[in-house]
Every structure is written in structure tokens, then in C-alpha cells.
Amino acid sequence: TVVRTSMQDRLQTLLPQPLQAVLTEVAQLAEQQGWQLYLVGGAVRDLLLAEQPPKLQEFDLVVDGVHTGESEGAALAQLVQQRHPEAQLQIFGQFQTAALLWNQDPVLGTFAVDIATARSEFYPYPAANPEVTASSIRQDLYRRDFTINALAVRLTPHRQRQRQGGELLDFFGGLEDLQQRQVRVLHPNSFIEDPTRIFRAVRFATRLGFEIEGQTERYVRNAISSGIYQQTQGENQKTPALQARLRNELKYIFKTDYWPTALKLLENLDALQCLHPQLNLGQNWWKQSRIVLRWHHSFDPEAKAIPQWLLILEHLLLELPPELAHPVAITLHLSESSQQRLKTLATTQQALAQLLSSAEPRPSLIARQLQQIDLALLLLLAARGDLALRCSIWQYLNYWSQLKPLLNGSDLIRLGYQPGQQFKQMLSELWAEMVDGTLRDRATAEQWVQHQYPLM
């Protein structure tokens, strides 16, 4: 439950002192320029919800410059950086925002302060990228996604009312929605304007343990049945940005532990249609996804071959026929290797099934085939293939690929062979014999080499 206290108290009790000092300093600099400064977005939401000091690393600030100039945000960030040369300054001209980054600072740790100029966004047409014009804080908050994300704390003193900073600005009932634990959208067209908000609604609902408010859910369903998929696929120049944001939202979701709950909710809302209208997950998919994650933890514990989010996303897209999965992967800007896996999984699976169903295939034949396949694809094949394939991949990853060679190049030289191209082949054949279990010690391995490759 939300405790209604002055935000000033909340900031003081929940934020580490050095961080408070930075925010106060930024507010003073803004005030000296005659600007108002607000803390907005996720930090306000999380500070209101927190019972313990939350781990906040991102602070979104908005400058409301009375003169409706368009670059107060960047100007303020520059002033702050003059005082804090240890912070890295990044300016993003197009959106009039600037970011200051403290990276592993001995006092402040790692955190980012984003400073934007108050703005409203109007959408020239649905699903387009926001176009930006300068405006006041209320409008800035109105363009945001959900009421719980549209709260602001004034950090500068209120000039007319002679009030101290710390006032909570709640124009859209965000505080009550925090108390009611609801994700509520700010306006009916929100999801049509920006379909990524559907994924954001689900992400916040799942992460915070909130409900998607009833009317908001109807807006989601309307947006989806109005054919959002076509919008995300459009040819216009704004869609690449939308698709990249969609990919990022999927990434955020699949990175978490709560992704299954989020994905079930997305399924429930028919939101997977945003990726492709034919994308449906059956019982089997969920079973396979447990396998793929277990194998990922065992065989790629540091996620060097593939990160969890991408593995789940690929596994998801593999529910589409191969000729559909690949274009979706391109649309979502997935890497070349991802695209390749989506394109080749079905045929690789078939070829392996054929090999496994032939009469007693030599293990080394199977091992050689598996050796050609990258680990990420092996994990997907293990989860999605039948038991025979899963067992072979298990044996390959656990045993065959781990075999310590009985002989190496120096041993071959010692046996009298001339180093050269042929060594690679000899060692590879030796490995195949080991996989087949015909060679178990160095002596038999040496005899085998001498027999196979007689010295002149």
C-alpha cells in the first residue's frame, strides 16, 4: 500500500544522501535560470511504492522552461556537467534530451540522470514515431503511457505559492491507481498510437503484481482487433523505430524471471498478434521452454552462446512456419545468426531425425553432424526435437564434445609423422574412433594411427 507522505520526506529517507545532493544541486541550477524542475516517470512510481530504499539507477528529470525554449534540458545538463566533470554528458538533439552518466563513481556509484525539456507529443498518424514540440509539464505527463508513470515531483520551489520543493503532481489519478494496484492508460487511443505500450502494460502489471484496469484492457483488445499487426509491418519510414522498440520491450520481458506470467498475459490479450497473426503457443511450447531454459543454465551458464531473452524469443518465433519466422526476425532486427537459426532449424531437425532413424548409426556420424551446429541451435533442437534427438545432443554436449584426445600433434611427431595438413584429419579421425568407443587408451590409439597411416 502507498503511504501518503510528503515526497520530500520520501526522497530524504529513501534516496542515498549523495544522490539527493546531486538532485538538489540540479534543482538549484534550474531555479537560478528561472526554470522549474521535476522528477518524473519510474523513479517517482518506485519511490511511492517502496517500503525499503529501492535500487534506483535512472532518474528522469523534466525542465519546464517558462520561455518555451526547446533546449533547456540540454542546457541544464551542461551546467551540471561543469560542476561534475566526472559525469559523462550525452545530448540527444532530436528529442531535446540529455543524459548524465556516473559510471562506478567512488561516491555516487553508477546511475544516470536524464534531463528532458517539457514536451507534448502529437502523433501525425497512428503507430508513428512521436514528434516533439515544447510544452508544459502537464502536457509532458499527458503524453506518457500509464497513470502510474505520469506522476511528477516538483524539485524546485513553487514560485507563486512560495512552497518548498517536494510537491507531488498527480493530474491523472496515478496515486490512486498505485494504491489500487492498477495499470491504467491515459487515453483511449494510446495503444493504437503506440502498440509497444501493450507490452509495457503487461510488463508493469506483471513486475509490480498489478492488474490491467478493465477499460484499459478493452482498449488493448480493440487496438489488437483493429489490426495492429499491419501497422507494425507498414512500409513507412517510422516503422523501423517502432519495431526496434517492440524488440526492446520483448527483450525486457524475456530477461526477467517473471517472463512466463507476462507471456501468458500477452497470450491472453491476443497480443502475440502484434508479432504475427498466426503466432499461437500450445501446451507443448511451454514444456519445451522449460527444457530449453534448463539446458541453457547447464550448458551455457554465462550466456556466452546466447542470452536468455533471445533464446526464448527464438523459441517463440519457431512456433511460426519457417517461411514466416524468418521475415518476423528481420522485422524485429534480430541478428544474422538468429535469423540463420530460425531459417535452418526445421531442415537441420529433419536431417538429424533421418540420421537417427537409420539402422544403428555410428555415434561418430551423429557427433560429427552435431559438431557443425552452434550451441544455441543445439539447445533449441534439444528442446523442440524428439527424445532420440534430445538424448543424442545430451550425449554430445556432456560426453563426446568433452573427450580429451588420447594423442595430440606432439605425439604424432614422436611417432615419426611429419607435421602438416594431414594432422588435422588424423586427430579428427582419432576423435571419431573415441566417440565410437573403439579406442580407450594411448597404446591402442598409437597402434590405430600406425595401422591407418603406415609410415613409408
> Where along the sequence are the contacts to ligand ATP (CB under 6 A)?
41-42, 58, 60, 144-145, 149, 194, 196-197, 200
Nearer to ligand ATP, 16 or 42 (CB): 42
Nearer to ligand ATP, 43 or 263 (CB): 43
Smallest gap from Cβ 421 to ligand ATP, in A, equals 55
Smallest gap from Cβ 126 to ligand ATP, in A, equals 13
| Contact by Cβ (8 Å): 365, 400 | no
Smallest gap from Cβ 257 to ligand ATP, in A, equals 15
Smallest gap from Cβ 375 to ligand ATP, in A, equals 30
User: How far, in Å, CA of 74 to CA of 63, rounded?
Assistant: 10
* 3-state class (DSSP) for residue 313: helix
Smallest gap from Cβ 28 to ligand ATP, in A, equals 24
Sorted by sequence, the CB contacts under 8 Å of residue 199 that are 6+ apart come out as: 246, 249, 250, 253, 266, 271, 274
Nearer to ligand ATP, 41 or 166 (CB): 41
User: How far, in Å, CA of 214 to CA of 198, rounded?
Assistant: 14
Smallest gap from Cβ 430 to ligand ATP, in A, equals 53
Task: Give φ, ψ of 62 to 5 degrees.
Answer: -125, 130
State the greatest distance between any 2 C-alpha atoms of the chain, in Å, as a whole number. 101
Nearer to ligand ATP, 97 or 156 (CB): 97
Smallest gap from Cβ 186 to ligand ATP, in A, equals 8
Which H/E stretch holds residue 265?
helix 259-268
Nearer to ligand ATP, 207 or 343 (CB): 207
Nearer to ligand ATP, 41 or 165 (CB): 41
Between helices 387-398 and 336-357, what is the axis angle to 10°?
Answer: 110
Nearer to ligand ATP, 167 or 193 (CB): 193
Sorted by sequence, the CB contacts under 8 Å of residue 395 that are 6+ apart come out as: 363
Closest by alpha carbon to 363, among 329, 388, 386, 331? 388
* Sign of the CA dihedral running 190, 192, 193, 198: positive
Smallest gap from Cβ 17 to ligand ATP, in A, equals 22
Tell me whether residue 64 is exposed, middle or buried, using C-beta atoms within 10 angstroms of its C-beta: 0 to 12, 13 to 18, 19 or more.
buried
Smallest gap from Cβ 383 to ligand ATP, in A, equals 29
3-state helix, strand, coil in the chain (%, to 5): 55, 15, 30
The one-letter amino acid code at 121 reads: E
Grid coordinates representing 154? 516538483
Nearer to ligand ATP, 144 or 296 (CB): 144
Nearer to ligand ATP, 84 or 200 (CB): 200
Smallest gap from Cβ 42 to ligand ATP, in A, equals 2
Task: Give φ, ψ of 38 to 5 degrees.
Answer: -130, 145
What is the phi-psi region of residue 170: left when phi exceeds 0, alpha when psi lies from -120 to 50, beta otherwise? beta
Smallest gap from Cβ 150 to ligand ATP, in A, equals 6
Q: Please list, residue by residue across 74-84, b when 16 or more beta carbons sit within 10 angstroms of its beta carbon and e when fewer do.
A: bbbbbbbeeeb
Nearer to ligand ATP, 245 or 390 (CB): 245
Task: Give φ, ψ of 39 to 5 degrees.
Answer: -95, 130
Sorted by sequence, the CB contacts under 8 Å of residue 83 that are 6+ apart come out as: 25, 29
Nearer to ligand ATP, 229 or 394 (CB): 229
Nearer to ligand ATP, 59 or 431 (CB): 59
Name the residue with cell 586427430.
427
Between helices 283-299 and 308-317, what is the axis angle to 10°?
Answer: 150
Smallest gap from Cβ 252 to ligand ATP, in A, equals 7
Q: Using CB atoms, what's the residue nearest to ligand ATP?
A: 42
